[in-house]
Amino acid sequence: MKQETRKEIMFTGFGGQGVITAGYITGQAAAVYDDKESVLTQVYGPEARGSACYSGVVVDEEEIDYLYLLSPQVMVVMSQDAYEKFLPKLQEGGVVIVDSSLVEVDERVKKYRLYKVSATEIAEEMGARIIANVVMLGFVSRIWDAVSVEGMRESVKSRVPRKHLDLNIRAFEKGVELGEKALAKEC
């Protein structure tokens, strides 16, 4: 397996937060809009809504020869339970993006590059808690080089219900803006 161009991201949270949808949108952004190879895997408990779940996306410039996550470089964490359960799967030195509205971090994050995004709080202020995942997608598209902001934006547009398109695009752009600010602080 060639590792040079393989990129992996894991979206984690609880059922009902749009964690699987976030993975789907990311994979579609890579494959359809950025002309790369991608594959999505998903895992959720039998309870579905409310239980810890994740979606994993592999993106590569070349054909993907192994479909499952080997060592994600990026992890989006949208619930405390997911933080406890999945953080050890993140590659040491990787990027962890937590929804600071719902997740308290501890000393374990010291071995990762940490970003805090109050995605659920922002989504609630915009009027719909369910768009927190789209805020995260905007942030991810700005700080992770496996997908382009344009590709992710187009993927969001194609996936969300038309009647909620404007709200989702505003949520996405807010995430991009937060990603830009986070990157600017690192310079």
Q: Sketch the domain layout of the chain as residue ranges.
A: 7-186
Q: What is the mean pLDDT of residues 52-75?
A: 95
CATH 3.40.920.10 at 7-186, yes or no: yes
- Cα separation, 101 vs 96, in Å, equals 15
Sorting pLDDT into bands at 50, 70 and 90, what band is 2? very low
Amino acid sitting at position 162: R
85-94 long-range Cβ contacts below 8 angstroms, 24+ apart? 85/12, 85/52, 86/10, 86/12, 86/52, 86/54, 89/10, 90/10
| Residue-wise pLDDT tens digits, 127-152 | 999 999 999 999 999 999 999 999 99
Q: Does residue 185 register a pLDDT over 50?
A: yes
Residues 85-109: pLDDT tens digits?
999 999 999 999 999 999 999 999 9
pLDDT at 46: 59
Report how far apart, in Å, the C-alpha atoms of 87 and of each of 43, 56, 131, 139 are. Answer: 15, 13, 23, 19
Taking CA atoms, 157 is separated from 78, 150, 169, in Å, by 22, 11, 7
Asked whether residue 34 carries a pLDDT value surpassing 50, the answer given is: yes
Output the pLDDT for position 49. Answer: 59
pLDDT at res. 1: 44
Report the pLDDT averaged over residues 158-172: 96
Give the residue with greater pLDDT, 49 vs 65: 65
Q: Is residue 48 scored above 70 in pLDDT?
A: no
